[in-house]
Amino acid sequence: MANSKTPISTPTSQTAEILALLGQVAHRFGPEADEMQTWLAEHNQDPAIARLLPEGRSRVAGTSDAPGFAAGYMLKLPGSKTSIGLNYRSAVTSHLKGRASFAFGNDYALKRFLDDDLLAKAFPAQDIKGSLTTPANYGIGISNSAFFHTTFSFDFRLQDFTRFRNVPLNFSQTEATNKDVRTPAEQRLVFDFRNSYQLALPSGVKFV
């Protein structure tokens, strides 16, 4: 059994949601409303818009108990002074439960268009659920000590990241439960990990 306490700190990518909020509150600004609505429509897909919005961060912390197992096998061939070993450690899927929180900077260009508590209402701290799969490990090794009083060995290991592409997080508060909230029902943290390999060719002197 493995107990996992996993804090994840990532930049918050909620540009579209904040722009939608701006569009909803633009009517409050009298003569500036039409100009505001036009500007938002023109810049909705502009990457530069992010520089006008508050810097935000989210923190997700969760715990889980998940079982895993490891196994190994060693074959010894005394006649040829050779040993062959295999080992395996399973992938482990942890079903996390925890909390998510959000924080935003106070100095940004569009601050005058937002109520002081608008972002706090849109991205409240809340309970979350998620799942995290750590990669399986495979290994094979061969050693031989028949020559020159020396043990020669070969070791190959593989970490399989094919199941660790993203971490889905499910938020407990959404627009469906509260009209002021803009956290999505599910957000996936996407990673670009590749399978990793390790090849070792150690040798050592054996005294007889």
Helix or strand or coil: residue 25?
helix
Please state, in angstroms and rounded to a whole number, the distance separating the CA atoms of residues 152 and 201: 8
The pLDDT tens digits for 7-48 are: 443 444 455 555 555 555 544 444 455 555 565 556 554 555
The pLDDT tens digits for 110-125 are: 777 777 788 888 889 9
The pLDDT tens digits for 64-111 are: 888 899 999 999 999 899 999 999 999 999 898 999 998 888 877 777
CA atoms within 13 A on the CB side of 103: 6
- Name the CA radius of gyration of the chain, rounded: 27
Per-residue pLDDT, averaged over 159-172, amounts to 84
Q: What percent of the chain has pLDDT over 70?
A: 66
Question: 113, 121, 107: which is closest to 23 by C-alpha?
Answer: 113
Q: Can you spell out the DSSP letters for 40-71?
A: HHHHTT-GGGGGGSPPEEEEEEEEEEE---EE
Please state, in angstroms and rounded to a whole number, the distance separating the CA atoms of residues 55 and 53: 7
Question: 193: which 2 tokens?
Answer: 């990990």
Cβ atoms of residues 128 and 101 within 8 Å:
no
What is the pLDDT, as a whole number, of residue 90?
94
First-to-last C-alpha distance (Å) of the chain: 43
